Amino acid sequence: MSKILGRPIFYSKPSLLKFRRTMLQRGTKKDFVNVMVMLYLITQMGNAKQITQDLPNYLGRPAHSVADFIAANEALFAPAK
């Protein structure tokens, strides 16, 4: 991501409680925050290790790489003003 956008991108890895509190303070709906926390927990516990090739079947077309998506949608990743 940093290479494509030409600027450093950092992942801060906040604690779950800090992340949850921050998202709620930003006005994100509580139910959505709870889902994000659960997805994070599942990933951290190693329960999301398996990589499948199901996405093209669901989409009905080949999947795009994250790098291709970022390059095609660079404006979405512009720094906040």
As a residue count, the chain comes to 81
Domain boundaries, the chain: 2-77
pLDDT tens digits, residue range 19-66?
A: 999 999 999 999 999 999 999 898 888 887 888 889 999 999 999 999
pTM over 0.75? The answer is no
CB atoms within 10 A of CB 4: 15
CA dihedral 31, 49, 22, 25 (to 10 degrees): -20
State how far the alpha carbon of 81 is from the alpha carbons of 1, 77, 78, in Å.
Answer: 20, 12, 9
SS (H, E, C) 5-22: HCCCCCCCCCCHHHHHHH
